Structure 1
Protein backbone atom coordinates (compact mmCIF):
# COMPACT_ATOMS: atom_id res chain seq x y z
CA UNK A 1 0.00 0.00 0.00
CA UNK A 2 1.09 3.57 -0.69
CA UNK A 3 1.29 5.21 2.73
CA UNK A 4 0.55 8.60 1.15
CA UNK A 5 -2.87 7.46 -0.07
CA UNK A 6 -5.74 7.18 2.38
CA UNK A 7 -7.38 3.75 2.39
CA UNK A 8 -11.15 3.85 2.98
CA UNK A 9 -13.79 1.13 3.17
CA UNK A 10 -17.32 2.13 2.12
CA UNK A 11 -20.13 -0.18 3.29
CA UNK A 12 -23.26 1.02 1.48
CA UNK A 13 -26.08 -0.96 -0.16
CA UNK A 14 -27.32 1.89 -2.37
CA UNK A 15 -25.28 1.11 -5.45
CA UNK A 16 -25.83 4.48 -7.15
CA UNK A 17 -24.78 6.41 -4.04
CA UNK A 18 -21.82 4.08 -3.49
CA UNK A 19 -20.63 4.59 -7.06
CA UNK A 20 -20.90 8.39 -6.77
CA UNK A 21 -19.03 8.44 -3.46
CA UNK A 22 -16.33 6.05 -4.69
CA UNK A 23 -15.77 8.04 -7.89
CA UNK A 24 -15.45 11.29 -5.96
CA UNK A 25 -13.05 9.81 -3.42
CA UNK A 26 -10.86 8.47 -6.20
CA UNK A 27 -10.73 11.96 -7.75
CA UNK A 28 -9.46 13.17 -4.36
CA UNK A 29 -6.73 10.48 -4.43
CA UNK A 30 -8.46 8.37 -1.74
CA UNK A 31 -8.41 4.61 -2.35
CA UNK A 32 -11.80 2.91 -1.84
CA UNK A 33 -12.92 -0.66 -1.19
CA UNK A 34 -16.65 -1.27 -1.25
CA UNK A 35 -19.05 -3.75 0.34
CA UNK A 36 -22.82 -3.88 -0.18
CA UNK A 37 -23.75 -5.54 3.13
CA UNK A 38 -22.57 -5.55 6.72
CA UNK A 39 -21.22 -9.09 6.74
CA UNK A 40 -19.07 -8.47 3.67
CA UNK A 41 -17.89 -5.23 5.28
CA UNK A 42 -16.84 -7.07 8.44
CA UNK A 43 -14.87 -9.58 6.38
CA UNK A 44 -13.00 -6.82 4.53
CA UNK A 45 -12.13 -4.96 7.75
CA UNK A 46 -10.70 -8.13 9.28
CA UNK A 47 -8.66 -8.90 6.17
CA UNK A 48 -7.30 -5.42 5.37
CA UNK A 49 -6.04 -2.22 6.93
CA UNK A 50 -8.04 0.99 6.48
CA UNK A 51 -7.64 4.60 7.62
CA UNK A 52 -11.39 5.27 7.85
CA UNK A 53 -14.58 3.20 7.63
CA UNK A 54 -17.73 4.67 6.06
CA UNK A 55 -20.74 2.68 7.27
CA UNK A 56 -24.33 3.07 6.19
CA UNK A 57 -26.69 2.60 9.13
CA UNK A 58 -29.31 0.47 7.37
CA UNK A 59 -27.50 -2.45 5.76
CA UNK A 60 -28.61 -5.97 4.77
CA UNK A 61 -27.24 -9.00 6.66
CA UNK A 62 -25.80 -6.82 9.46
CA UNK A 63 -26.69 -3.18 10.15
CA UNK A 64 -24.11 -0.48 10.67
CA UNK A 65 -24.55 -0.31 14.45
CA UNK A 66 -24.02 -4.06 14.88
CA UNK A 67 -21.03 -4.00 12.56
CA UNK A 68 -19.48 -1.12 14.49
CA UNK A 69 -20.07 -2.87 17.83
CA UNK A 70 -18.40 -6.06 16.58
CA UNK A 71 -15.35 -4.13 15.39
CA UNK A 72 -14.93 -2.33 18.70
CA UNK A 73 -15.37 -5.53 20.69
CA UNK A 74 -12.55 -7.10 18.66
CA UNK A 75 -10.20 -4.22 19.39
CA UNK A 76 -10.31 -2.60 15.96
CA UNK A 77 -9.71 1.13 16.44
CA UNK A 78 -10.20 2.35 12.86
CA UNK A 79 -12.29 5.56 12.93
CA UNK A 80 -15.91 5.08 11.82
CA UNK A 81 -18.03 7.67 10.02
CA UNK A 82 -21.68 6.61 10.04
CA UNK A 83 -23.75 7.61 7.00
CA UNK A 84 -27.48 7.74 7.68
CA UNK A 85 -30.78 9.38 6.82
CA UNK A 86 -31.68 9.33 10.51
CA UNK A 87 -30.84 12.56 12.26
CA UNK A 88 -32.61 12.45 15.62
CA UNK A 89 -30.64 12.82 18.84
CA UNK A 90 -31.58 9.27 19.88
CA UNK A 91 -30.20 7.90 16.61
CA UNK A 92 -26.92 9.75 17.10
CA UNK A 93 -26.63 8.61 20.72
CA UNK A 94 -27.17 5.01 19.58
CA UNK A 95 -24.44 5.42 16.99
CA UNK A 96 -21.89 6.83 19.40
CA UNK A 97 -22.77 4.16 21.96
CA UNK A 98 -22.04 1.50 19.32
CA UNK A 99 -18.58 2.95 18.71
CA UNK A 100 -19.09 5.49 15.93
CA UNK A 101 -16.67 8.43 15.86
CA UNK A 102 -18.61 10.80 13.60
CA UNK A 103 -22.00 11.14 11.93
CA UNK A 104 -22.97 12.44 8.50
CA UNK A 105 -26.64 12.78 7.64
CA UNK A 106 -27.88 12.01 4.11
CA UNK A 107 -28.06 13.79 1.77
CA UNK A 108 -24.59 15.21 2.31
CA UNK A 109 -22.15 17.26 0.27
CA UNK A 110 -19.26 15.19 -1.04
CA UNK A 111 -16.91 18.05 -0.18
CA UNK A 112 -17.93 17.73 3.48
CA UNK A 113 -17.41 13.96 3.35
CA UNK A 114 -13.82 14.52 2.24
CA UNK A 115 -13.17 16.93 5.11
CA UNK A 116 -14.62 14.47 7.65
CA UNK A 117 -12.53 11.61 6.26
CA UNK A 118 -9.33 13.63 6.34
CA UNK A 119 -9.98 14.69 9.94
CA UNK A 120 -10.75 11.16 11.13
CA UNK A 121 -7.74 9.67 9.33
CA UNK A 122 -5.39 11.69 11.55
CA UNK A 123 -6.28 9.68 14.65
CA UNK A 124 -7.35 6.29 15.90
CA UNK A 125 -10.73 5.73 17.45
CA UNK A 126 -11.13 6.09 21.19
CA UNK A 127 -14.23 3.91 20.98
CA UNK A 128 -12.44 0.57 20.90
CA UNK A 129 -13.48 -1.82 23.70
CA UNK A 130 -10.41 -4.06 23.63
CA UNK A 131 -6.71 -3.20 23.51
CA UNK A 132 -4.20 -5.89 22.61
CA UNK A 133 -0.68 -6.54 21.42
CA UNK A 134 1.69 -9.51 21.56
CA UNK A 135 -0.60 -11.63 23.75
CA UNK A 136 -1.40 -8.77 26.15
CA UNK A 137 -5.11 -7.87 26.26
CA UNK A 138 -7.16 -5.28 28.12
CA UNK A 139 -10.95 -5.75 28.09
CA UNK A 140 -12.17 -2.22 28.78
CA UNK A 141 -15.79 -3.11 29.57
CA UNK A 142 -14.96 -5.74 32.18
CA UNK A 143 -11.70 -4.13 33.34
CA UNK A 144 -9.80 -7.40 32.96
CA UNK A 145 -6.20 -7.83 31.84
CA UNK A 146 -4.54 -10.99 30.53
CA UNK A 147 -1.25 -11.98 28.94
CA UNK A 148 -1.03 -15.24 27.03
CA UNK A 149 -4.30 -16.26 28.67
CA UNK A 150 -3.07 -15.62 32.21
CA UNK A 151 -4.96 -13.11 34.36
CA UNK A 152 -3.05 -10.00 35.45
CA UNK A 153 -4.10 -8.12 38.57
CA UNK A 154 -3.63 -4.36 38.31
CA UNK A 155 -4.23 -1.45 40.65
CA UNK A 156 -6.23 1.49 39.21
CA UNK A 157 -3.01 3.43 38.60
CA UNK A 158 -1.35 0.45 36.89
CA UNK A 159 -4.43 -0.02 34.72
CA UNK A 160 -4.33 3.65 33.68
CA UNK A 161 -0.65 3.43 32.75
CA UNK A 162 -1.09 0.22 30.79
CA UNK A 163 -4.16 1.49 28.95
CA UNK A 164 -2.31 4.67 27.98
CA UNK A 165 0.68 2.72 26.69
CA UNK A 166 -1.47 0.24 24.76
CA UNK A 167 -3.57 2.95 23.13
CA UNK A 168 -0.39 4.64 21.90
CA UNK A 169 1.49 1.45 20.89
CA UNK A 170 3.76 1.19 18.98
CA UNK A 171 4.41 4.89 19.58
CA UNK A 172 6.44 6.11 22.55
CA UNK A 173 4.62 7.84 25.42
CA UNK A 174 6.62 10.54 27.18
CA UNK A 175 7.21 10.58 30.91
CA UNK A 176 5.39 13.92 31.09
CA UNK A 177 2.29 12.51 29.38
CA UNK A 178 2.13 9.54 31.74
CA UNK A 179 2.56 11.80 34.75
CA UNK A 180 -0.26 14.01 33.52
CA UNK A 181 -2.54 11.01 33.03
CA UNK A 182 -1.95 9.82 36.60
CA UNK A 183 -1.77 13.21 38.30
CA UNK A 184 -3.55 15.77 36.11
CA UNK A 185 -3.75 18.48 38.76
CA UNK A 186 -0.83 18.00 41.12
CA UNK A 187 2.41 16.32 40.09
CA UNK A 188 4.11 14.30 42.86
CA UNK A 189 7.84 13.95 43.42
CA UNK A 190 10.07 12.84 40.56
CA UNK A 191 10.33 9.19 41.66
CA UNK A 192 6.59 8.46 41.78
CA UNK A 193 6.22 7.47 38.11
CA UNK A 194 9.35 5.30 38.34
CA UNK A 195 7.81 3.41 41.27
CA UNK A 196 4.50 2.91 39.44
CA UNK A 197 6.27 1.67 36.29
CA UNK A 198 8.31 -0.77 38.38
CA UNK A 199 5.16 -2.29 39.88
CA UNK A 200 3.48 -2.42 36.46
CA UNK A 201 6.44 -4.32 35.02
CA UNK A 202 6.29 -6.75 37.94
CA UNK A 203 2.75 -7.66 36.87
CA UNK A 204 3.02 -7.50 33.07
CA UNK A 205 6.59 -8.65 32.35
CA UNK A 206 8.20 -10.47 35.27
CA UNK A 207 6.16 -13.72 35.04
CA UNK A 208 6.95 -14.03 31.31
CA UNK A 209 10.06 -14.75 29.28
CA UNK A 210 10.02 -11.58 27.18
CA UNK A 211 9.38 -8.01 28.36
CA UNK A 212 6.81 -5.87 26.56
CA UNK A 213 7.32 -2.58 28.42
CA UNK A 214 10.51 -0.79 27.37
CA UNK A 215 12.20 2.43 28.46
CA UNK A 216 13.37 4.65 25.60
CA UNK A 217 16.12 6.80 27.07
CA UNK A 218 15.34 10.50 26.96
CA UNK A 219 11.92 9.91 25.37
CA UNK A 220 9.64 7.83 27.58
CA UNK A 221 8.12 4.37 27.52
CA UNK A 222 6.71 2.05 24.86
CA UNK A 223 4.97 -1.30 24.61
CA UNK A 224 6.18 -3.55 21.81
CA UNK A 225 7.36 -7.07 21.18
CA UNK A 226 10.85 -6.10 20.04
Structure 2
Protein backbone atom coordinates (compact mmCIF):
# COMPACT_ATOMS: atom_id res chain seq x y z
CA UNK A 1 0.00 0.00 0.00
CA UNK A 2 1.23 3.50 -0.80
CA UNK A 3 2.31 5.56 2.18
CA UNK A 4 1.83 9.31 2.70
CA UNK A 5 4.64 11.79 2.50
CA UNK A 6 5.87 12.27 6.06
CA UNK A 7 4.85 15.44 7.89
CA UNK A 8 2.82 16.77 4.98
CA UNK A 9 0.38 19.50 6.03
CA UNK A 10 -3.15 19.61 4.59
CA UNK A 11 -5.85 22.27 4.74
CA UNK A 12 -9.42 20.92 4.49
CA UNK A 13 -12.03 23.58 3.68
CA UNK A 14 -15.45 21.91 4.06
CA UNK A 15 -18.62 23.35 5.61
CA UNK A 16 -20.18 19.96 6.38
CA UNK A 17 -18.79 19.51 9.89
CA UNK A 18 -19.36 15.75 9.95
CA UNK A 19 -17.57 15.26 6.63
CA UNK A 20 -14.80 17.67 7.66
CA UNK A 21 -14.27 15.75 10.88
CA UNK A 22 -14.22 12.44 9.01
CA UNK A 23 -11.67 13.72 6.49
CA UNK A 24 -9.47 15.18 9.24
CA UNK A 25 -9.56 11.86 11.08
CA UNK A 26 -8.73 9.91 7.91
CA UNK A 27 -5.81 12.14 6.98
CA UNK A 28 -4.47 12.31 10.54
CA UNK A 29 -4.65 8.53 10.71
CA UNK A 30 -2.45 8.40 7.62
CA UNK A 31 0.22 10.57 9.23
CA UNK A 32 -0.70 13.97 7.81
CA UNK A 33 -1.01 17.20 9.78
CA UNK A 34 -4.47 18.68 9.19
CA UNK A 35 -6.07 22.10 9.65
CA UNK A 36 -9.75 22.73 8.91
CA UNK A 37 -11.87 25.70 7.86
CA UNK A 38 -15.65 25.80 7.49
CA UNK A 39 -16.29 28.63 5.02
CA UNK A 40 -14.52 30.37 2.18
CA UNK A 41 -13.34 33.34 4.23
CA UNK A 42 -11.75 31.10 6.86
CA UNK A 43 -10.20 29.03 4.09
CA UNK A 44 -8.74 32.13 2.43
CA UNK A 45 -7.24 33.33 5.73
CA UNK A 46 -5.69 29.95 6.51
CA UNK A 47 -4.49 29.51 2.93
CA UNK A 48 -2.73 32.88 3.01
CA UNK A 49 -1.27 32.61 6.49
CA UNK A 50 -0.44 28.91 6.81
CA UNK A 51 2.13 26.69 5.15
CA UNK A 52 0.40 23.73 3.49
CA UNK A 53 1.46 21.04 1.07
CA UNK A 54 -2.04 20.49 -0.36
CA UNK A 55 -5.53 21.98 -0.14
CA UNK A 56 -8.80 20.01 -0.17
CA UNK A 57 -11.58 22.50 -0.92
CA UNK A 58 -15.35 21.95 -1.12
CA UNK A 59 -17.01 23.74 -4.02
CA UNK A 60 -20.24 24.82 -2.29
CA UNK A 61 -18.90 26.82 0.65
CA UNK A 62 -20.62 29.58 2.63
CA UNK A 63 -19.36 33.17 2.24
CA UNK A 64 -17.20 32.35 -0.78
CA UNK A 65 -17.48 29.59 -3.39
CA UNK A 66 -14.60 27.10 -3.35
CA UNK A 67 -13.67 27.96 -6.93
CA UNK A 68 -13.48 31.65 -6.06
CA UNK A 69 -11.35 30.74 -3.03
CA UNK A 70 -8.84 28.86 -5.18
CA UNK A 71 -8.76 31.68 -7.74
CA UNK A 72 -8.09 34.27 -5.01
CA UNK A 73 -5.27 32.20 -3.54
CA UNK A 74 -3.70 31.91 -6.98
CA UNK A 75 -4.07 35.67 -7.55
CA UNK A 76 -2.20 36.28 -4.29
CA UNK A 77 0.69 34.05 -5.22
CA UNK A 78 -0.28 30.84 -3.37
CA UNK A 79 0.66 27.91 -5.61
CA UNK A 80 -0.19 25.06 -3.21
CA UNK A 81 -1.82 22.20 -5.16
CA UNK A 82 -5.59 22.09 -4.65
CA UNK A 83 -8.20 19.34 -4.98
CA UNK A 84 -11.81 20.52 -5.30
CA UNK A 85 -14.57 18.32 -3.86
CA UNK A 86 -18.03 18.88 -5.30
CA UNK A 87 -21.45 17.42 -5.86
CA UNK A 88 -21.41 19.03 -9.31
CA UNK A 89 -19.94 16.67 -11.85
CA UNK A 90 -20.66 18.29 -15.20
CA UNK A 91 -17.89 18.96 -17.70
CA UNK A 92 -18.42 22.72 -17.38
CA UNK A 93 -18.02 22.53 -13.61
CA UNK A 94 -14.82 20.51 -13.88
CA UNK A 95 -13.40 22.91 -16.46
CA UNK A 96 -14.31 25.90 -14.27
CA UNK A 97 -12.46 24.36 -11.34
CA UNK A 98 -9.34 23.62 -13.32
CA UNK A 99 -9.37 27.04 -14.97
CA UNK A 100 -9.57 28.68 -11.53
CA UNK A 101 -6.29 27.03 -10.56
CA UNK A 102 -7.31 23.68 -9.05
CA UNK A 103 -5.06 20.74 -9.88
CA UNK A 104 -7.73 18.06 -9.48
CA UNK A 105 -11.49 17.67 -9.15
CA UNK A 106 -13.33 14.85 -7.33
CA UNK A 107 -17.11 14.40 -7.44
CA UNK A 108 -19.07 13.45 -4.31
CA UNK A 109 -19.81 10.77 -3.24
CA UNK A 110 -16.28 9.48 -3.61
CA UNK A 111 -14.40 6.40 -2.52
CA UNK A 112 -11.84 6.98 0.24
CA UNK A 113 -9.01 5.05 -1.49
CA UNK A 114 -9.40 7.27 -4.59
CA UNK A 115 -9.35 10.43 -2.49
CA UNK A 116 -6.19 9.29 -0.72
CA UNK A 117 -4.51 8.42 -4.01
CA UNK A 118 -5.36 11.83 -5.46
CA UNK A 119 -3.99 13.60 -2.39
CA UNK A 120 -0.76 11.61 -2.66
CA UNK A 121 -0.53 12.73 -6.29
CA UNK A 122 -0.93 16.37 -5.20
CA UNK A 123 1.79 15.94 -2.60
CA UNK A 124 4.19 14.59 -5.20
CA UNK A 125 3.80 17.96 -6.94
CA UNK A 126 4.75 19.81 -3.75
CA UNK A 127 7.78 17.70 -2.96
CA UNK A 128 8.92 17.54 -6.57
CA UNK A 129 9.26 20.24 -9.20
CA UNK A 130 6.64 22.53 -7.61
CA UNK A 131 8.86 23.02 -4.57
CA UNK A 132 11.26 24.87 -6.86
CA UNK A 133 10.50 28.21 -8.53
CA UNK A 134 12.62 29.31 -11.49
CA UNK A 135 12.61 32.62 -13.34
CA UNK A 136 15.11 35.04 -14.83
CA UNK A 137 18.10 32.79 -14.31
CA UNK A 138 17.34 32.23 -10.63
CA UNK A 139 16.21 29.02 -8.96
CA UNK A 140 14.55 29.18 -5.53
CA UNK A 141 14.09 26.03 -3.48
CA UNK A 142 11.17 26.95 -1.26
CA UNK A 143 11.93 24.16 1.22
CA UNK A 144 15.60 24.98 1.89
CA UNK A 145 15.07 28.69 1.05
CA UNK A 146 18.25 28.67 -1.05
CA UNK A 147 18.65 30.62 -4.28
CA UNK A 148 21.03 29.44 -6.99
CA UNK A 149 21.78 30.41 -10.58
CA UNK A 150 22.72 33.95 -11.56
CA UNK A 151 23.36 35.23 -8.04
CA UNK A 152 25.79 38.14 -7.52
CA UNK A 153 28.67 35.93 -6.37
CA UNK A 154 27.64 32.90 -8.39
CA UNK A 155 27.06 30.95 -5.18
CA UNK A 156 23.93 29.80 -3.37
CA UNK A 157 22.24 32.42 -1.22
CA UNK A 158 20.16 31.48 1.82
CA UNK A 159 17.07 33.57 2.52
CA UNK A 160 14.95 34.06 5.60
CA UNK A 161 11.45 32.58 5.60
CA UNK A 162 9.80 35.88 4.67
CA UNK A 163 12.44 36.79 2.13
CA UNK A 164 11.85 33.42 0.45
CA UNK A 165 8.06 33.83 0.58
CA UNK A 166 8.28 37.29 -0.99
CA UNK A 167 10.66 36.14 -3.72
CA UNK A 168 8.56 33.03 -4.46
CA UNK A 169 5.47 35.19 -4.87
CA UNK A 170 7.22 37.54 -7.30
CA UNK A 171 8.93 34.74 -9.24
CA UNK A 172 5.71 32.74 -9.45
CA UNK A 173 4.16 35.46 -11.62
CA UNK A 174 7.24 37.28 -12.97
CA UNK A 175 5.38 39.69 -15.26
CA UNK A 176 2.74 40.63 -12.72
CA UNK A 177 2.87 43.84 -10.69
CA UNK A 178 1.90 43.30 -7.04
CA UNK A 179 0.66 46.14 -4.88
CA UNK A 180 2.03 46.50 -1.38
CA UNK A 181 -1.39 45.51 -0.04
CA UNK A 182 -1.39 42.28 -2.02
CA UNK A 183 2.09 41.42 -0.80
CA UNK A 184 1.12 42.25 2.78
CA UNK A 185 -1.80 39.82 2.57
CA UNK A 186 0.00 36.97 0.83
CA UNK A 187 3.47 37.19 2.41
CA UNK A 188 3.08 39.02 5.71
CA UNK A 189 -0.37 37.73 6.76
CA UNK A 190 -1.68 41.30 6.71
CA UNK A 191 -0.07 41.78 10.13
CA UNK A 192 2.60 44.31 9.16
CA UNK A 193 2.61 47.87 7.86
CA UNK A 194 3.28 48.60 4.17
CA UNK A 195 6.81 49.57 5.17
CA UNK A 196 7.56 45.91 5.88
CA UNK A 197 7.25 45.15 2.17
CA UNK A 198 9.76 47.88 1.33
CA UNK A 199 12.15 46.57 3.99
CA UNK A 200 12.10 43.01 2.68
CA UNK A 201 12.50 44.20 -0.90
CA UNK A 202 15.62 45.98 0.34
CA UNK A 203 16.87 42.78 1.98
CA UNK A 204 16.36 40.80 -1.25
CA UNK A 205 18.18 43.43 -3.30
CA UNK A 206 21.05 43.44 -0.82
CA UNK A 207 21.43 39.65 -1.12
CA UNK A 208 20.58 39.12 -4.80
CA UNK A 209 21.31 42.43 -6.52
CA UNK A 210 19.37 45.60 -7.08
CA UNK A 211 17.69 44.31 -10.24
CA UNK A 212 16.02 41.29 -8.62
CA UNK A 213 12.92 43.35 -7.69
CA UNK A 214 11.66 46.17 -9.88
CA UNK A 215 9.74 49.11 -8.43
CA UNK A 216 6.69 50.09 -10.48
CA UNK A 217 5.97 53.74 -9.76
CA UNK A 218 2.80 54.33 -7.72
CA UNK A 219 1.79 50.69 -8.11
CA UNK A 220 4.10 48.27 -6.30
CA UNK A 221 6.70 45.69 -7.20
CA UNK A 222 7.39 42.96 -9.73
CA UNK A 223 10.17 40.47 -10.35
CA UNK A 224 12.97 42.33 -12.07
CA UNK A 225 15.00 39.72 -13.95
CA UNK A 226 12.35 38.50 -16.42
Under TM normalisation by the shorter chain, which class is it? Answer: 0.5 to 0.7
Name the SS for the 2:206 alignment partner: coil
Take 1:61 and 1:165, find their aligned partners in 2: how far apart are those partners?
A: 39
- Computed over aligned residues only, the root mean square deviation of the Cα atoms, in angstroms, reads 3.1
Take 2:205 and 2:70, find their aligned partners in 1: how far apart are those partners?
A: 36
Take 1:61 and 1:209, find their aligned partners in 2: how far apart are those partners?
A: 39
* Structure 2 match to 1:89: 91
- Contact 2:13 2:36 survives alignment (8 Å): yes
Larger Rg: 1
Name the SS for the 1:122 alignment partner: helix
Deviates more, 1:58-67 or 1:166-175: 166-175
Q: Of residues 5, 8, 33 in structure 2, which corresponds to 1:6? A: 8
* Structure 1 match to 2:208: 212
What number of residue pairs does the alignment pair up? Answer: 147
Report the CA distance between 1:106 and its aligned residue.
0.5
* Structure 1 match to 2:217: none
Take 1:71 and 1:161, find their aligned partners in 2: how far apart are those partners?
A: 20
What are the within-5 Å matches in structure 2 for residues 158-169 of structure 1?
A: 161-162=135-136, 165=138
* Structure 2 match to 1:190: none
- Tell me the TM-score normalised to structure 1 length: 0.57
- Contact 1:9 1:32 survives alignment (8 Å): yes
* Structure 1 match to 2:80: 78
- Contact 2:6 2:32 survives alignment (8 Å): no
Report the CA distance between 1:172 and its aligned residue.
6.7
Take 1:84 and 1:167, find their aligned partners in 2: how far apart are those partners?
A: 34
Structure 2 unaligned spans of 5+? 151-203, 210-222
What are the within-5 Å matches in structure 2 for residues 124-139 of structure 1?
A: 124=126
* Structure 1 match to 2:178: none
Take 1:118 and 1:12, find their aligned partners in 2: how far apart are those partners?
A: 19
* Structure 2 match to 1:112: 114
- Contact 1:21 1:110 survives alignment (8 Å): no
* Structure 2 match to 1:98: 100
* Structure 2 match to 1:30: 32
Change (3 A) 1:174 1:209: closer
Report the CA distance between 1:19 and its aligned residue.
1.3
- Contact 2:138 2:149 survives alignment (8 Å): no
* Structure 2 match to 1:192: none
Give the structure with the higher percent helix.
Answer: 2
Structure 1 unaligned spans of 5+? 133-159, 176-207, 214-222
Report the CA distance between 1:85 and its aligned residue.
0.8
Change (3 A) 1:122 1:58: same
Name the SS for the 2:21 alignment partner: helix
